Each structure stands twice: as structure tokens, then as C-alpha cells.
Structure 1
């Protein structure tokens, strides 16, 4: 009976993560994961400027997603608060370093990544508790 509950919890966790990942993909596809890009330097054509903003946006999003993946791996050590702070610092660094492009990770995308962290931390905590319970029994 307990393994059935565990599998239900795992399926629920996976279903919630799948919803989060689907919304993140939608935000990325529609270009809503990163905001800004209004103050582009005026040298070159409009097409070249737009392409430059798109390249910077992709680079910043790739950097943020890499940091988010590192934060997910940090959770194995049990550091949810440290992972959240690290992800927030990454977002603020992107905003600060984007310079004249004034790019920033959208609050919705940040919230989805934070929710992903919390769900994963909760799942890892539950798995650890189940292992402890099995050892005791």
C-alpha cells in the first residue's frame, strides 16, 4: 500500500513539473521569458540591431537556465534557500550586465523556475523520508 502512495506522489510531482516545463517552453517560444531590449545602440540597420538583441536575449536566457539547472543540482545537498538566492542573483546579474539592451528575466519565468526548485526540493525531501522509514522498518 505504501509503494502505491509513493508512486502517486511521484506521478503528481512529475505532472506538476510537466505543466511548469510546458509553460516555460511557451514563454521561451513567444519571447516572453526575457523582457526589454528597447534601448539598442543606433549603429547599423534595424535588422542588425534586432538580431543583436535576439542574440543577447538568447545568451542571457541560456545563462539563466544553466544557473537554474545548477541550482536544481544544489538541492541534493538540501539547500533550497541557497538555491533560491543563487537563482535570484543570476537574474539580477543578467539585468545588470545586459547594459544598453536593458534585458531582464521576466517575473513569470522566474516564478516558474522558483516553483520548479520548490517542487524538486519537496520531492527530494519526501524520497529521503521514505528511505529513512524503510531503514527503520
Structure 2
């Protein structure tokens, strides 16, 4: 799968805006060096995104375990949907802020990540 992503990244299928989004995501994931100067606002935003991403993964694991053990956890669904919403909304807002080429797709994804939980709750 990773190889196919590399092939798509190197090909002419994706645009410059897509390459920019991929580079922003790589920057978000990479480990920062201790002597590297980072804007405190960017650092806080990255910490929030990583924290909500980790919480989302933990909640997915808890949901799978509760389904396997036939335990009903009503509160887990509400917490999961809130955490997923915050994670994706913050991720898309981070991509919008860092992107030099504004993308309508990112604006739509940001809007949908904020509105879908409102519509379905």
C-alpha cells in the first residue's frame, strides 16, 4: 500500500495542492528535534491534533473490545463521535491554515466534519 501511495505521489495524477497537503501531513507526523525552533502556536495546534488522534485510536480499540465482549457502552459512542469530530475538524483546519494554495475540497471537508455530528446527534 505504501508503494502505491509513493507511485501516486510521484505521478502526475495529483496536483500541486495535493502534494502540498501531503507535505503538511508529513511535517505534522515527523518527530521534531529538541533544538529546532518552532512557533508555540503551531506546536500547540500539533499537540492537540496528535492528542485527539491518539484518543480516537484508543476509542476505536475500546469499541472493538466492547463489541467482542458483548458489553454495551452507550457513553462510549458519544465520546467517540465527539473525539472523532474534534480530531478531523482540527486536522482540516490545520491543513487550511498551513496550505498556500486554498482548496475548495479542504473547505468542504472542514465544514462537513463540523456539521455531520450536528445533523446526526
TM-score by length of 2: 0.38
Query: Greater Rg, structure 1 or structure 2?
Result: 1
Which structure has more relative contact order (CA 8 Å, sep 6+)? It is 1
